[in-house]
Every structure is written in C-alpha cells, then in structure tokens.
Amino acid sequence: MRLSNFADYAVVTMSAAARHCGGARTSAGELAIETGLPAPTVAKVVSKLTAAGLLRSVRGAKGGLQLARPAAAISLADIVEAVEGPIALAACIEGEDCAAHHDCRVRPHWPIVNETLRGALAGVPLTRLSQQEPA
C-alpha cells in the first residue's frame, strides 16, 4: 500500500500546522511556505482537512488556521481518512465488483486486515509526526 501524493501532502500540512499548536494561528500561505508545497495544493488540502473537522478556520483580523483538536488527539489514520476516505486495501469491501466475487474465500478476511491497518495508523499521533526527529 502506498499513500497518494494528496494524502502525503495532507500529513505534511497537518504536521506543519501542529508546530503552531498553542501559538499564533497560521495561514494556508504560511503552511505552503513552511512545507515547500505549492500554495494551490495546500489550499485544497486545507479545505479537505477543514471539512473533515481536523482544522478550524477563524475569520477576522486575528484569524487564520488552527488545529480543531489537540495534536495528540489527531492520528495519522484521521488525516488519511479525511482526504482518502475509509482505509481499505481491497476495493471489493466497499461494494465494488470483482471477477472472483461469487467464489472468493479471501473477501471475508479483508475487514480484519483493514481494521489492523487502521489501528496501526491510528497509533501514530500528530504530535509524533510534527517532531523534528523521529522518537
């Protein structure tokens, strides 16, 4: 499994936003500069993350972006699901047809695989991702 570029950009953007946690609000433009990502891409990522309730946008003179929850309460799974949807390795679980659907002996096992993968991603908090060096 490989994250899409968009999911990777979301993780990078949230990590940068977390470094502002507890301090002044930031903007999509500032996050673009800090991450080196194109401003239009960061704007799209911020829009998705805001819609998912991971970022909060505050209007006004002292407005800007901030985490909607403490960084410790946001996981890698939350970020990936915000931009990619539910974590699933096999498309057939989401109701998509498969040529072997009628006689598939593996299909019943995919939910436990997906739960295990989501659990692993959920075990990585944003606080860890926003550190300079890995723990």
Query: In the prediction, which pLDDT does 28 show?
Result: 94
CA dist list (Å): 98 to 54, 86, 105, 112: 34, 19, 12, 19
Estimate the crossing angle of helix 76-84 against helix 39-51, to 10 degrees: 100
**pLDDT for residue 68:** 94
The pLDDT assigned to 21 comes to: 77
Q: What is the pLDDT of residues 10-65, one digit of tens each?
A: 999 999 999 987 667 899 999 999 999 999 999 999 999 999 999 999 888 778 89
Closest to 89 measured CA to CA, from 112, 107, 114, 109: 114
How far apart, in Å, do the first and last CA atoms of the chain sit? 24
Residue 67, beta-bridge partner list: 55
pTM: 0.87
pLDDT at 130 over 70: yes
- E strand or H helix at 49, and its extent? helix 39-51
Nearest CA among 17, 10, 67, 12 for reference residue 36: 12
Tokens of 3: 């994250």
